[in-house]
Amino acid sequence: MVVALPTNPRPPISLLIMNDEFLWVERYRPHTIADTVLNAKLKKHFTEIVKDGNLPNMILAGTAGLGKTTVAKALCDEMDLDWIMINASEEGGIDTLRVKIRQFASSVSLNGGHKVVILDEADHLNPQSTQPALRGFIEEFSNNCRFILTCNFKNRLIDPLHSRCPPIDFNTNKKEMAKLAEQFMKDVLMPMLTKEGVKFTPQVLARLVVKYAPDWRKIINICQRYGPTGEISSDILLDVNDQNIAQVVGYLKAKDFKSMRAWVVNNSDLDGTATFRGIYDALTEYVAPSSIPQAILTLADYSYKSAFMADKELNLVACLTELMCELKWK
């Protein structure tokens, strides 16, 4: 059960429709652990938590799109716990956390159990100020509240958080990943496209899943972008890699800032890291040899910054602008 904070007004209906009905990742998000795409060990662990009825503090760690947030929500829903979601990359200031957590955690749950604070992307929190403050909140509300932290990089969380919220690693080996990719395709992707009335061939879907596994969220977002065409064709494989990189490089070479920025906005489902890597892989094809060292340093710098910046679009535009101005192109 989700409880809105008294001081946080209900979002406009249009926003609720956008979140719950328009985005496929939300529309088809699993609400039970049994329906999640997880390896057997993780699924067993979370199933036992549900059966036990006692939710502990925890850190869910692993690369983007693995289902960490989905698991956090599914645990709360299955156990009928009141919960609140806070995105640390957008609302990670000390004052914001203090107000939201205190307002939520200081009251008793309507269901009689613990309340749960889900802190998404917790590795974006400042390790010198906000993370120590969060440790204090966890201790202060330990009798009434549980905390689930999700992160891509657990080593960016301070040790006191690790000791209070034991990490659970979502990353898996190649053998298990192959099984998960097959499960995702058969149990999630194909039924979803069928329900949305989008034609597809299993061969194309398989290639798409292999390319982006285990980022299930990205795969769904890419398919949704092609949904209005009524068909998932082999063009989707070109559009999400070489063709996109070639297009944005063309804008950089022409010093066309307006088109470059529009490209970033139109490709918002492609995270910055993928773009950084795509340009890096294509350096020898597009960039003059004398500029390659500078390009590598710039890409590495902004790739690192992307883990801490709340505004991913701004970070990517800044990186591409610097490349546009400083590099010599072929």
Domains of the chain and CATH, by start: 13-169 (3.40.50.300), 174-238 (1.10.8.60), 242-326 (1.20.272)
Under DSSP, is residue 188 helix (H, G, I), strand (E, B) or coil?
A: helix
Q: Other CB atoms closer than 10 Å to residue 9's CB: what's the count? A: 8
- Could you give the dihedral angle defined by the CA atoms of residues 167, 172, 87 and 92, in that order, rounded to the nearest 10 degrees? 50
Q: Which two tokens stand for residue 41?
A: 């060990």
Nearest CA-CA partner of 101 in 149, 64, 31: 149
Phi, psi for residue 143 in degrees, rounded to 5: -75, -25
CA–chain centroid gap for 324, Å, is 28
Which pLDDT tens digits describe the chain residue by residue (330 residues)? 443 433 333 333 333 334 455 789 999 999 999 999 999 999 999 999 999 999 999 999 998 889 999 999 999 999 999 999 998 877 767 888 889 988 998 887 777 789 999 999 999 899 999 999 999 999 999 999 999 999 999 999 999 999 999 999 998 888 888 999 999 999 999 999 999 999 999 999 999 898 888 889 889 988 998 888 888 887 777 654 566 788 888 899 999 999 999 888 877 656 567 678 778 877 888 888 899 999 999 999 988 887 777 678 888 899 999 999 999 888
Distance (Å) of CA 99 to CA 19, 83, 93, 114, 161: 24, 15, 10, 19, 20
d(CA 107, CA 87): 21
Nearest CA-CA partner of 276 in 301, 311, 240: 301
Sign of CA dihedral 49, 125, 68, 214: negative
- Yes or no: say if 24 and 192 are a contact pair by the CB < 8 Å rule: yes
d(CA 161, CA 150): 12
**Burial category of 88 from C-beta neighbours within 10 Å (exposed 0-12, middle 13-18, buried 19 and up):** buried
- Yes or no: say if 134 and 92 are a contact pair by the CB < 8 Å rule: no
Round to the nearest angstrom and report the end-to-end CA distance of the chain. 57
Confidence at residue 16, expressed as pLDDT on a 0 to 100 scale: 35
